[in-house]
Amino acid sequence: MTKEAEQRPLAEEPSRCKWCRRVLPNQRIGRPREFCSHACRQWHWVGKQRAAELQLSEHELIVTKETLDQLHDELYVLACAVNDAEKDLAAAHGKGSAKELRELLEWLLEAARPLRDRELNQSSLRP
Ligand SMILES: [Zn+2]
C-alpha cells in the first residue's frame, strides 16, 4: 500500500432511501433527501401507520412468507453463482482469458439482477 492510499479518507457510506434502500444521489445543498421518490415517502408513512396499529417497534417488520421465500431463493442463486465464480477463478490460477472472465461476470450479474431489480411488495402493506 502506498502512503497516498493510507492517507486517503474512508469513503462515506452513501445515503439511502428510507423505504426502498436505493442509494440517493449526492446532494450538496439544501435539506438532505430521505426518499428516492414521492411513492417511497408515502409507503414509508403508510408503513409507520400500520406498525403503530399493530404495536410493532421500529425494529420489527411483517413480511409475507411468499416474499421472504422469494428473497431467500434469489439469495441462494447469488450465493451459488459466487461459489462457482470463486471455484473457477481458483482453478484458472490467474490465467483466465478475457472471454472466460466476461462469461464469469455475466453469470454473476445474471444471478444478482433479480435482487437489484426487486421491488418491495407494496400491496402487502395496503390496509
Ligand atoms: Zn425509494
Instruction: Flag whether pLDDT at 62 surpasses 50.
Output: yes
| 85 CA to centre of ligand 1 in angstroms | 31
The model's pLDDT over 36-61, given as tens digits with 9 standing for 90+, comes to: 999 999 999 998 999 999 999 888 88
Burial of 106 (0-12, 13-18, 19+ CB in 10 A): exposed
| 70 CA to centre of ligand 1 in angstroms | 20
Q: What pLDDT is recorded for position 108?
A: 95
Per the structure block, which three cell numbers stand in for 6?
Answer: 493510507
Instruction: Flag whether pLDDT at 96 surpasses 70.
Output: yes
| 69 CA to centre of ligand 1 in angstroms | 22
| 114 CA to centre of ligand 1 in angstroms | 17
| 32 CA to centre of ligand 1 in angstroms | 14
Per the structure block, which three cell numbers stand in for 101?
Answer: 472472465
Distance CA(70)–CA(101), nearest Å, equals 29
Distance CA(29)–CA(48), nearest Å, equals 28
